[in-house]
Amino acid sequence: MMSRLSFSASVRAEQLAMQAANKLSVKEVMKISSIFCLLVFVSLEDLNLESSVVPVGVVWSIAGAILYACYMVFLKHKVPTEDRMDFTMFFGFVGFFNTIILWPGFPLLDVFGWETFQLPNLQHLFYMSVNGLVGTVLSELLWLWGCFLTSSLMATLSLSLTIPLTMFVDIWLKGIKYSLLIYIGAIPMMTSFIAVSLLTHYESWDPLMDGMKYLHRKCWRRNHMYR
């Protein structure tokens, strides 16, 4: 999730810099900032540092976010429209390079005792196959297609809704209780998606800037009347 949000902010900043001569409006700044609200609250809730040592998982998450953002920004720069990409060949090469580069490292992790691997049974193999086809291939295909049909911000922000939606399912089906920080962070995440959808449709409308100008005019008139 951190990698997707990092990619979203990176691509959106690049697009705005190209379209507006490196100037960000208040509306765009709020759109980018709202993406990280829930991520910050989730990180604060899950992060439990018993010592001054940073957990290894945090380091891997940050590294993955940086690499994933660089990869997607480069892809969006090289392939600006969906007509210039063969999705079948693209994901085929992704799977091919993952197989020849990453898979050889799995036995080494088992040999050195860093991770223990064992062959899955038929039930686990079925679940892994379904998750790979639906949760990885199909979801990534629809997400990448959505990037080209709408914008990288909309596609990535819609994926970030998996956090509040997962919370809702856990509460409904499993009765899991979350802390107040998680609920507070879910509010701007849900509202930001609705706001971004409206603001993307009305690109020339900047409600935050209009509101600030209105408050400035009201304050200026009031001060002028007192004088």
The full DSSP string for 10-26 is HHHHHHHHHHTTT---H
pTM of the full structure: 0.48
Token pair of 204, please? 């020339």
> For residue 136, what are the contacts with CB-CB under 8 A and spacing of at least 6?
none
> For residue 191, what are the contacts with CB-CB under 8 A and spacing of at least 6?
34
User: Residue 101: is it exposed, middle or buried by C-beta count within 10 angstroms (0-12/13-18/19+)?
Assistant: exposed
Task: Give Cα 3 to chain centroid, integer Å.
Answer: 6
- Identity at 40, one-letter amino acid code: V
| Spatial CA neighbour of 39 closest among 17, 58, 12 | 58
Cα 204 to Cα 55, 173, 199: the distances in Å are 44, 42, 8
Q: Domain locations in the chain?
A: 2-78+132-226
Token pair of 145, please? 């297609």
> For residue 76, what are the contacts with CB-CB under 8 A and spacing of at least 6?
11, 14, 147, 152
Give pLDDT tens digits along the chain (227 positions).
444 544 444 545 445 444 444 444 555 555 555 556 556 655 555 555 445 555 676 677 778 777 877 777 777 777 776 677 777 787 788 888 888 888 888 788 888 888 777 778 889 889 888 988 887 788 878 877 777 777 666 777 777 777 778 888 888 888 888 777 777 777 777 777 777 777 766 666 666 677 777 777 777 766 655 55
Count of residues making up the chain: 227
- Identity at 168, one-letter amino acid code: F
pLDDT in tens, 28-59: 555 555 556 556 655 555 555 445 555 676 67
For the chain, how far is it from start to end, CA to CA, in angstroms?
54
Contact of 199 with 27, CB cutoff 8 Å? yes
